[in-house]
Amino acid sequence: MRRRGRTLLLHAALSALALATFFPLAWMFSVSLMPQGEASAIPPALVPSRPTLEHFRALFLRLDLGRAFLNSALIAGAVTALSVFLNALAGWALAKLRFPGRRRLFSWLLASMVVPGQVAMLPLFLLLRSLGLVNTMAGVVVPAAASLFGIFLIRQYALSIPDELLEAARVDGAGEFRIWWSVALPLCRPALVTLALFTFVGTWSDFMWPLVVLTDESKYTLPVALASLVGEHARDVELMMAGSVLTVLPVLVLFLALQRHYIAGITMGSVKE
Amino acid sequence: MRAEARREALSGWLFVAPALAVLAVFFVGPVAAGFLLGLTDVDLYALGGVGAWRFVGLRNYGRLLADPIFWQALRNTFFFVLVGGPLTMAAALGAALLLDAKATRLKGLFRTVLFAPVVTTLVAVATVWRFLYNPRAGPLNLFLSFVGLGPVNWLGDAQWAMPSLVLMAVWKNFGYGMVLFIAGLQAIPESLHEAARIDGAGAWTRFRRITLPMLRPTLLFVGVITTIGYFQLFAEPYVMTGGTGGPNNATLSVALLMYKQGFRFWDMGAGAAIAFLLFLVILGASTLQVRLQKGSDA
C-alpha cells in the first residue's frame, strides 16, 4: 500500500513537471491560431475561440518571412553538408590513420573547445569584410564549415570500430580515401546522422553570428527576422507566436522524428577519453 | 612497409587538412587577431585594414575596468551563471531521478516532453517567454493571481528582470543535463544499492553515499558545459529587452555589451577587449571547477 502511494506521488511529480515544461510551447501554438487581440484580452483566452491561420498568412504575404525561412533552410543545409563532410574526414583520420603529430594535434583541438566564439567574432567580421563576404550567405556558411565538436564526435565513434575491417580493405589494395568512403562512412553512420542533426538544429537556431553578418533584411535567417519583428510588433502577440511556431516547428519535428539519434549524440559527446 | 607507413601518414594529413584550414583561417587566426585587436583603437573610421590599426597598449582594458557599466555586465553575467547554473543542474538531476525510478511508467513520453525545450530555437522561445511574462495579460501573472500572489512586473522591474531570464534558461536547458544524468544513473551497478539496502541504508543515505559520488564525472561535465554556455548569455536579454539589456542595464550581459561596443558603436578595440576578458573568466571558471573536483577526489 505504501509502495502504491509512492508510485502515485512519483507520477504526480513527473506529470506536474512535464505539464509546466510543455505549457510554454502549447501556449505558443494555441495563441498563434487565435484571432487578433484574444490573447491579450482581459481575461486572456487560453484556447482560440475560432482557430485561424491569418497570422501565418500575414507572415508569408505581408512580412516576407517565407524568404527568411528559405534562407535559414539553405544556410543550415549547406553548413550541415559541408561540415559533416569535413569533420568526418578529419575525425576519421584522427582516430584511425597513423601520422606524425596526430596526438598533439588532437589535444590542441580539444583544448581549443574552451575558447568562446565571441573572441573570434570581431576580427572574423573584419576578415569577411575584406573578402567581401559580409551580408552574404557564404559569410555565415564558410566559417562554420568545420567544427571542433564535430571532429571530436566522429573521432570518438570511429575509435570503437575494429581495425581488422580496415586491414582487410587495405590488403585488397584500396586507397585510404576509398576506404573512408566505402568502409568508414557506412560504419560511422549513426555518428554521422547524429552530427548532421546537431549541426542542422544548431545552425538553424544560431543567432549572434547571423545577426552580425547579415545586414540586409532580405538575407535574414528566421531567428534574426523574428527578433527584428518582435521589436516592431511587440503588441501583436498572436502574430509573434505564429512567427515563433514557424521558427521552432522545423527543428522540433526533426527532433521528434530522429529523437533516438539526438539523445545518443548527447551522451556520445560526453564520453571521456 | 615503410612506404606504406609514409603513405598512411600523408593520407592522414590530407584528411585533416581541409577542416584544419577552415579552423585556422576562421577561428584560430581570428582568436589571435582578437587579442591584438583588443590592444588597438580600431573604430568605424579606421576599418580600412590592418595597416590602420593603432596600438594603444592596455588602454582599452584600463577604460573597461574603470567603467561601471562593464562591472554591471560582469555582475549580471555572474548572477546568471551562479544562480542559473546550480538551478539548472538541480532541475536536471531531479528530473533524471524521477525518470530513472523503477516504478516510472511512460518513460519515453516523459523524456520527450521534458527534453523538447532543449531543441527549440532560443530566439523563438525567448519571444514566447517575453509574452508569458507580460505583467498585464501574461499567463504567468494570471496563474499567480489564481494562487493569490503577484502581480510581478517580470521584465520591467530591475529586481526581477535577471531572475526572469534565469527561470527561462532553466526551463530551456535542464533537459540536456537530465539526459546525461539518466545515462550516469544507469551506469551505477544495482548491486551497490542492493548492498546498502541490506545494510539498512534509507533512500536519502543511498542518494548521498552512492548516487552522488558515482555521478561525479557526469556532474563535472554538465557543470562545466553549463557554466561555459551560461557565461555567453546573449540572445535571451537581446530578444526579451529589445536589444538594450534593460531595464536600466539590469540584464546587460558581457556578450551583449561586447556586441553593442563592437557592432553598434563600432568601437572594435573595446569590443575585442571585452571578448578577451570573457574568455579569461570562462577559462578561470572551468579550471576552477576541474580543480575543485580533483581536490575533493583526493
Q: pLDDT truncated to tens, each residue of chain A (273 aa)? A: 577 888 899 999 999 999 999 999 999 999 999 998 888 877 777 888 889 999 999 898 888 899 999 999 999 999 999 999 999 999 999 999 999 999 999 999 988 888 888 999 999 999 998 899 999 999 999 999 999 999 999 999 999 888 888 888 888 888 889 999 988 999 999 999 999 999 999 999 999 999 999 999 999 999 999 999 887 877 788 999 999 999 999 999 999 999 888 888 888 766 543
* B7:A121 CB<8 A: no
Domain boundaries of chain A, sorted by first residue: 26-269
**What is the pLDDT, as a whole number, of residue A272?**
47
Closest chain B residue to A28 measured between Cα atoms? B128
Q: Which domains does chain B have, with CATH numbers?
A: 59-297 (1.10.3720.10)
- B186-218 residue pLDDT tens: 999 989 888 998 988 888 899 999 999 999 989
Closest chain B residue to A97 measured between Cα atoms? B12
What pTM, to 2 d.p., does this model score?
0.92
Q: In DSSP terms, which residues pair with B55 in a beta bridge?
A: B40
Nearest to B164, CA basis, from B223, B66, B83: B83
Residue B18 binned pLDDT confidence (cut-offs 50, 70, 90): very high
* A207:B11 CB<8 A: no
CA gap A205, A211 in Å, rounded: 12
**What is the pLDDT, as a whole number, of residue B2?**
77
- The C-alpha of B209 sits at a distance from chain A's nearest C-alpha, in angstroms, of 22
Nearest to B81, CA basis, from B284, B261, B259: B284
- B131-154 residue pLDDT tens: 999 888 888 888 888 888 878 888
CB < 8 Å to B11, chain A: 93, 97, 99, 175-177
CB < 8 Å to A109, chain B: 23
Domain A26-269: give its CATH superfamily. Answer: MetI-like (1.10.3720.10)
* Reported ipTM: 0.91
Burial of A226 (0-12, 13-18, 19+ CB in 10 A): buried
* A86:B131 CB<8 A: no
**What is the pLDDT, as a whole number, of residue B298?**
46
Closest chain A residue to B225 measured between Cα atoms? A114
B76 torsion bin: left (phi>0), alpha (psi -120 to 50), beta (else): alpha
